[in-house]
């Protein structure tokens, strides 16, 4: 009887995935929640989920639980550009939703990099095929931000809005755990793994123009570094220890 039950649960969840009720990348209810909803043991729920994983419909990752299987959003670190343009090249639809647009006192790190006391702070959520894949916060000097509107930053990259040619950028990537606000914006559990990327963008004279922080859910994203010439090393290029 248990086997019939777990197959029935798998059939129902499969139908929700195939109908789009559970979109690619979306998190499923936890095993305990499914157990309560179907009034079965977690062993029965786990068998149903493992059946769907064997079919390639869902997957699981530590810190997230079960989610609808999807191709990861990949960002190349070999060139300077927007992830939206890279997604477009792959045929993936993307959009931005601005959730914060205000002038604030520069946070200590931003003040250190930009050398200004007041900045425009823009917070947004980036989506790929309707699912959130990044929370982005960008800071620019107040004199630059004064020329911009909420509509500007929702439809165009900052690179196109600062008014000067872009020279270079430095990206620093680390791992963290999602806090309550990012968990809500990215639709992931609080404390789940995220990748945090700080980007400092400079003009042609190497003067810092922008500071941005990008937070990506670990189960949906990955960074790819292209190494034109292999070095005889067992460690990834650019890896360093932090205190």
Q: What is the CATH number of the domain that holds 52?
A: 1.10.10.10
> pLDDT at position 2, please?
47
Kindly report the number of other CB atoms within 10 A of residue 148's CB atom. Answer: 18
Q: Are the CB atoms for 211 and 199 separated by under 8 Å? A: yes
Are 79 and 39 part of one and the same domain? no
- 46 and 93 housed in the same domain: no
- Distance between CA atoms of residues 101 and 34, nearest Å: 39
Residue 182: what are its φ and ψ, rounded to 5°? -65, -35
| pLDDT, tens digit (0-9, with 9 covering 90-100), for 25-72 | 677 888 898 999 999 998 999 899 989 888 888 888 766 678 887 766
**191 located within any domain:** yes
pLDDT at 243: 58
- Domain range enclosing 94: 73-224
| 198 shares its domain with 87 | yes
Rounded to the nearest 10 degrees, the angle between the axes of helix 42-54 and helix 2-19 is: 50
Cβ 218 vs Cβ 63: under 8 Å: yes
Q: Is residue 206 part of a domain?
A: yes
On whether both 101 and 211 belong to a single domain, the answer is: yes
Q: Say whether both 197 and 96 belong to one domain.
A: yes
| Eight-class DSSP state of 160 | G
Domain assignment present for residue 229? The answer is no
CATH number at residue 214: 3.40.1410.10
Same-domain pairing of 15 and 34: yes
What is the pLDDT averaged over residues 5-18?
89
107: in domain: yes
Same domain, 92 and 23: no
* pLDDT of 212 higher than 90: yes
Please give the pLDDT value at position 107. 94
Q: Are residues 25 and 128 in the same domain?
A: no
Q: Would the pTM of this model clear 0.85, i.e. be above it? A: no
Work out how many domains the chain is built from and give that number. Answer: 2
Q: Is 48 part of any domain?
A: yes
Residues 123 and 217 in one domain: yes
């Amino acid at each position: 009887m248990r086997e019939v039950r777990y197959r029935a649960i798998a059939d129902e969840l499969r139908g929700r995935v195939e109908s789009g009720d559970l979109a690619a990348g979306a998190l499923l209810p936890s095993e305990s929640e499914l157990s309560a909803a179907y009034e079965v043991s977690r062993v029965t729920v786990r068998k149903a989920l493992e059946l769907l994983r064997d079919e390639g419909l869902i997957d699981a990752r530590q810190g997230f639980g079960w989610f609808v299987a999807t191709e990861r959003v990949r960002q190349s670190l070999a060139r300077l550009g927007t992830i939206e343009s890279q997604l477009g090249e792959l045929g993936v639809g993307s959009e931005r939703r601005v959730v914060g647009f205000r002038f604030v006192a520069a946070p200590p790190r931003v003040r250190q990099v930009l050398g200004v006391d007041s900045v425009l702070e823009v917070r947004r959520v980036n989506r790929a095929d309707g699912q959130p894949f990044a929370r982005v916060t960008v800071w620019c000097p107040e004199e630059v931000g004064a020329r911009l509107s909420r509509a500007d930053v929702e439809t165009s990259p900052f690179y196109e809005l600062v008014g000067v040619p872009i020279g270079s950028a430095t990206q620093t990537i680390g791992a963290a755990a999602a806090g309550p606000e990012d968990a809500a914006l990215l639709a992931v559990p609080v404390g789940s793994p995220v990748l945090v990327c700080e980007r400092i963008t400079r003009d042609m004279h190497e003067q810092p123009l922008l500071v941005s922080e990008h937070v990506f859910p670990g189960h949906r994203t990955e960074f790819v570094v292209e190494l034109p010439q292999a070095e005889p090393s067992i460690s990834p290029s650019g890896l360093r220890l932090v205190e």
